[in-house]
Structure 1
């Protein structure tokens, strides 16, 4: 389990609250979070790779060298990617790429640095839903431990929280995928558990390649040769009336 984000948030709260908002606590908290998350994430990945190497009878020395090579490549690739994305944002195209977690981490940093930079009642709502999520999580664990039938219907708090910060298309995609898998298991219970992982892996790879192509076109400022826009019937009637007033060429 990768707990780097948890410890990163903890470091952000500690550093941001100690520095203060007026002295740059938001930036200091974000920097501390990035350092802690980067360090712990690499350490966690190395441990996972060592476990995989143990299962596949791979030498730990080979795994460590591979990790070092990957880290060295990351030191070159990551700054180049950051420079490319920074150029896009610097030119004013701020809506090209979604970064929902950036707003989340910035809000946490602002909370830790002081309440002056956040909307009114935000801290009160944060405490309220923190207590609610904690109580629901405890109830869920108790229900699973005592094997209550209601346990399977209690949602995961993390999944519910993610739906508030990511774009709407991601929860919709997850809902559609869950519905398809549920119907597949009902129709063919024997083959669905066997082939569902393969189908999901293919979809993830295909979507990743599609996002790579979309990102490349966005970085190149490519424009579509045709644009399709959907509108209501009322707006369509107004548009037709406006086009009728234009001279025919």
Structure 2
């Protein structure tokens, strides 16, 4: 967070110092170095600006609805908790959207944890602080995350010469569909799979961290010496990131990224294996034809990711129908394999 805030503040100061002007009427035409394609993008993007009064009015209306509805769903969540969330969220949303645009790293979960700490402590144990904190955390994460997603959509719209208003309307339609489809999808997964099983396919690591470790049990839920290991790896991550930032590019490209190293430990090795296979494919593709790979790699990768995600829905339907796969593969130690073979024979 400190690094992202530093980069955001530095970039904002540099932009304020240079005071670049982006005008659809004068500057775009006067800049001889600007390509015609970029001029057209600027003209399209600035022609359909969303009025400030419309954005402000919509935010106030949504805040009023949330203040009235959220406490009815989550009783420990007081109305003034939701009000404070909507007051603090714009500042955090701006920081997250700006930092995400600079670094391509969304810190919405980190801002959510901050809200969890604040509102859980505010409500206290007698006021069901865990439920209040989790609900307030969800409100802040939705606001902060939606702002970042919308800015990413605007960036895509700018590159494709799409109208900002059409992008905004599409976002509203998607959010409205998500309000209906997301609970249904969650219910289907909840009925089909054992969500939260540490040995299952859907471990739900965020639920364990947010609910058990942070909200209820605290450090007492951690295994022996786990906290000391956290201190050590935290220091290792900070030092490694500092070294990557300070050494030349020719050296830093061979230093591993701690965040990428942490992903397999966090959600399982299957994700790291997928990334490794994809990296090898991209590397070989670049060696064969770099120009074509730069053009088609994003589209091919998006297709694989979309296909992997779409398959989850048929898998859930088959699980609801109690359909068992025709082949089962399992990797165990030689000792356990021998015991299984002995029992079968």
TM bucket (normalised to shorter chain) is 0.7 to 0.9
C-alpha distance after superposition, 1:92-149 (max 9, x if no partner): 99535342333343455248x7433434444443333222211211111111xxx253
Q: What does 1:157-236 align with in structure 2 at a 5 Å threshold?
A: 157-225=258-326, 227=328, 234-235=338-339
Deviation at 1:172, TM superposition (A): 1.4
1:130 is matched with 234
2:186 is matched with 82
In 1, Cα distance between the equivalents of 2:176 and 2:262?
A: 35
Q: In the alignment, is the contact (CA less than 8 A) between 1:8 and 1:37 conserved in 2?
A: yes
Deviation at 1:151, TM superposition (A): 0.8
Establish whether residue 38 from structure 1 lines up as the match of residue 142 from structure 2.
yes
Deviation at 1:225, TM superposition (A): 4.7
Deviation at 1:66, TM superposition (A): 2.2
In 1, Cα distance between the equivalents of 2:225 and 2:196?
A: 32
The total of aligned residue pairs comes to 236
> What SS is found at the alignment partner of 1:153?
coil
RMSD after superposition: 3.3
> What SS is found at the alignment partner of 1:191?
helix
In 1, Cα distance between the equivalents of 2:255 and 2:246?
A: 11
Deviation at 1:40, TM superposition (A): 1.2
Q: What does 1:32-181 align with in structure 2 at a 5 Å threshold?
A: 32-88=136-192, 94=197, 95=200, 97-106=202-211, 109-110=214-215, 114-143=218-247, 147=248, 149-181=250-282
2:118 is matched with 14
Deviation at 1:207, TM superposition (A): 1.9
Structure 2 residue runs without a partner (length 5+): 1-99, 101-105
C-alpha distance after superposition, 1:152-172 (max 9, x if no partner): 111111111111111221111
2:48 is matched with none
Q: In the alignment, is the contact (CA less than 8 A) between 2:192 and 2:316 conserved in 1?
A: no
Q: Decide whether aligned partners of structure 1 residues 204 and 82 sit closer, same or farther in structure 2, where only a CA change above 3 A counts.
A: closer
> What SS is found at the alignment partner of 2:311?
helix
TM-score by length of 2: 0.57
In 2, Cα distance between the equivalents of 1:235 and 1:211?
A: 34
TM-score by length of 1: 0.76
2:76 is matched with none
Q: Decide whether aligned partners of structure 1 residues 21 and 89 sit closer, same or farther in structure 2, where only a CA change above 3 A counts.
A: farther
In 2, Cα distance between the equivalents of 1:11 and 1:25?
A: 12
Q: In the alignment, is the contact (CA less than 8 A) between 1:25 and 1:109 conserved in 2?
A: no
Q: In the alignment, is the contact (CA less than 8 A) between 2:189 and 2:316 conserved in 1?
A: no
C-alpha distance after superposition, 1:165-205 (max 9, x if no partner): 11221111212222232233334444333332233223223
